[in-house]
Structure formats: structure tokens, C-alpha cells
Structure 1
Amino acid sequence: MEFDFTHLDPQSRYRLLTNFIGPRPIALVTTRSRAGHNNAAPMSFFNVFSHDPAIVVLGIQPRLTGEEKDTTANIRRSKEFAINMVDMALSQQMLVCGLGFDSEVDELSMAGLTAAPCTSIDAAYAAQSPCVFECRVERFIDYPRRTLVLGEVVHMHVRRECLDREGHYVDPEQYQPIARLHADNYITSDRQFVLKAPSIADFIKPQGD
């Protein structure tokens, strides 16, 4: 089958993109409201795009009414946000945070998560998260039905057991984030395997042969 995206309706594009591009990591984004409340919302339009500078990107759509979501409004005002990575232990709490509570509701508290103060930004993060990125806005890219938020990572929290003995690489036995596939389907990274690239010499014949 062929799909001409220039003629597809938005919902069909969404269905095709999210069904076939995956798994997508989940960012539980925490921000501070104007009144000082903690806001937390899961985003699966999220990934890392650069290490120098350290840039992550969120894609946040507005409410059905066209109004900005609390997360977007808070980020626009404060220019700061934290990304809490989600593992199986946080999966149900992540869903609670996505229920769409009123703006004054503290989603971290509602989900039974412990709010810990960030180090470099004015926001809280979920202490139960295995890994947290503190970010400052690098730029916004606004579309009619989606806002891309480019954030520069300025600080990172990692649970010690998620790293190897030297503290350099992730321990796959301990750090097993979940990711979204499509609709209500998710995947966990508890089944990992190693793929090593072959040598280029195996594919290039020496000259003269």
C-alpha cells in the first residue's frame, strides 16, 4: 500500500507514524505552574537529538479546544522542565499523570510519587525515576497542531545501580525503561541483545585480486 501524506488527514498520518515508528521512549515531563504547583505529564513524542550541545526534543500537541496544555504553558513561562524516564515500576503512576487533571492539581502527589527538588532548574522531579534530565529551553518551533520544544540538558540524575561499576555505562539488568508502540501497547527493554558490526575488510577485496 502507498500513502500520500500530502493528501492524508491528520488522524491518518498520526496513526501511520505512531504505528510504525517505535518503540518511542516516554518522557514524564515535570514543570512548575505559575502558582507553584508541580505538573507532570507523559509525552511519547520525545527523543534525544544531539550530545554537543545536549539537546532533547518534545513534541506537544494542544488540547482538543486548541488551548495549550499546562506543560506547554509552564515551559513557555519558566523556560525550564525536567524529563523523568519511566520504567515498569513507574508505569501506572505515569498513566495517572496523563489523566488530564485541572491545572492546580499536583500530578506527582496524585500519582503517589515523591517530589524532589531539581538541582539547576525551578522544578521538581519524581524521586522514583531511574533517570532524570533537567533541561532549559533552547528554542520553540510552533506548528498549528504541535509545538516542538528543544531543551538543553543542564543536569542529570541517575540512580546509582543503573550504572556499571565504573559509572560510565548503563547496566541493562537494572535500567529497563519502557516505551510506547501504538495505542495502549507498550514494550519493556528487559530482553536486550548485542549486535556487533562486521569488519569492513570482510566486504572489500584487496586490490590486485
Structure 2
Amino acid sequence: MQYDFDLPRDRRSLPHSPLKAIVAPRPIGWISAMDKAGRLNLAPYSFFNAVGETMVAFSSTGRKDAMTFAEEGGEFVCSLATWDLRDGMNDSSAPLPRGESEFAFANLETAPSAKVRPPRVAASPAALECRWLQTVPITPLDGGEAKDFLVIGQVVSIYVDERFVADGMVDTAAMHPIMRGGYFDYFHITPDQRFTMRRPKGAGEFTGS
């Protein structure tokens, strides 16, 4: 079976694009940002990942509030979405009017960040504090107007709940992160699903600071 985007929707081999189901599970960037007036926005983005040793990025389809607030305030925070916080994460994706706080709508408490203005989700076990670097419009093949925007930030400080640090390393699986799949699917990471592999001889071990 082939699924071709250049065919009209009613002639494609599947009723919905399989891309999100194949590129999965995907980390969720739970982005909090603050505009110049101090208004908060909180929203989950599943097109999110680390793109360097101290760089992260999320992609916004359309100029949504998380992106524009990050640009205005010059900062944003990525809180870890977990199993215990799944309902709050989902509620924070509601299409609220600009400037209405998703923290309040989803009954989520804020906690102050160490080096940036936007707060993190207080109940989240980890958060990346970022300074906005740039927003890159992604021009499609036909050269038309960009509909997707890549927002890049540099991580300047990281919060981790000390309960999830052992022997100097963060125990990711113990935090029970959730990840996004296709359609309405999510994945739940647990410690029993973890496995370890050492890199080949000469390939090195840990890098970065």
C-alpha cells in the first residue's frame, strides 16, 4: 500500500494520514510561555524534540499562542507530560481565547522557574527552561506560504524532582512519561519496558555537559 499526499483526499488509500502513527511514539513538549503583558499559555506539542546538546524545538501548525508568546517574551518552558498528569495535559490543549490561562482551565498549579519568567507545571517531575532563539517558517515544496513553524530554544536551566535522580543520573522511566502516537493514541513508558545497550567499542559513552 502506498499513501500519497499529492492525491486528492478522496482518492488516497487511507482516510487519515498514517504519518503520525508511524513516527511514534513522540515526546510531548508541554510548552508554557508568557507574553509581554504577563499572560500565560500552556499547550502540549507532539512535534517536539531535542535538536542539540542544549537545544530543543517544537513545531506549530499555524501561529498559535505558545509560539507567539515565546517570541514576545523571549522564553518558554517544556514540562514533562506524565501518566499522572495525562488529563491535565489533554485539557490544556483546549482552544481557549488568547490570554485565557490553560493552567487555570486544566486545574494545574504553576511553580516558578529558576532562570526564565514563564512558570513550569508544578506537579511535573522535570522541566526544561528555555530562551527563544528563532522561529523558522517551513516553506512547502510548492513554494506556497508556510503553514508550519519550527520554534527553537536553548535550554538554560533544568528542573528535576530529586526523587527521580539515582547515582547521578535521571531515571526517566520512573517518571512514567507519556508519548504521542497517531490518531487518539498515547504510549505510557514504565521501568519494566526499559533496556540498556552499550555503544560499540570506540563510539564513546556520554557526551555533553
TM-score (norm 2): 0.82
Matched residue type, 1:159: D
Matched residue type, 1:134: E
Match of 1:205 in 2: none
Query: Structure 1: which 5+ residue stretches go unaligned?
Result: 63-67, 201-209
Is residue 2:123 matched to residue 1:128?
yes
Match of 1:175 in 2: 175
Checking the alignment, whether the CA contact within 8 Å between 1:161 and 1:171 is kept in structure 2 is no
Distance in 2 of aligned mates of 1:78 and 1:38: 10
**Residue number among 15, 18, 24 corresponding to 1:16 in the alignment:** 18
Checking the alignment, whether the CA contact within 8 Å between 2:127 and 2:160 is kept in structure 1 is yes
Distance 1:148 1:171, change over 3 A: closer
Distance 1:8 1:34, change over 3 A: farther
Distance in 2 of aligned mates of 1:45 and 1:146: 11
Distance in 1 of aligned mates of 2:200 and 2:115: 44
Distance 1:19 1:87, change over 3 A: same
Distance in 1 of aligned mates of 2:40 and 2:199: 49
**Residue number among 146, 159, 162 corresponding to 1:160 in the alignment:** 162
Q: Quote how far apart the aligned CAs of 1:168 are.
A: 2.1
- How many matched pairs? 189
Match of 1:65 in 2: none
Is residue 2:26 matched to residue 1:31?
no
Q: Quote how far apart the aligned CAs of 1:175 are.
A: 1.5
Distance in 2 of aligned mates of 1:133 and 1:192: 24
> Residue by residue, what CA displacement relative to the aligned partner does 1:61-120 show, whole Å, maximum 9, x if unpaired?
11xxxxx21111111112210001100111000111101111121111221111112111
Query: Structure 2: which 5+ residue stretches go unaligned?
Result: 139-145, 202-209
Q: What's the secondary structure of 1:24's corresponding residue? A: coil
Percent identity, aligned pairs only, is: 25
Distance 1:125 1:196, change over 3 A: closer
Checking the alignment, whether the CA contact within 8 Å between 2:109 and 2:123 is kept in structure 1 is yes
Checking the alignment, whether the CA contact within 8 Å between 1:44 and 1:180 is kept in structure 2 is yes
Q: Quote how far apart the aligned CAs of 1:196 are.
A: 2.9
CA radius of gyration, larger in? 1
Checking the alignment, whether the CA contact within 8 Å between 2:18 and 2:182 is kept in structure 1 is no
Match of 1:151 in 2: 153
Distance 1:194 1:33, change over 3 A: same
Distance in 2 of aligned mates of 1:26 and 1:146: 17
Match of 1:139 in 2: 134
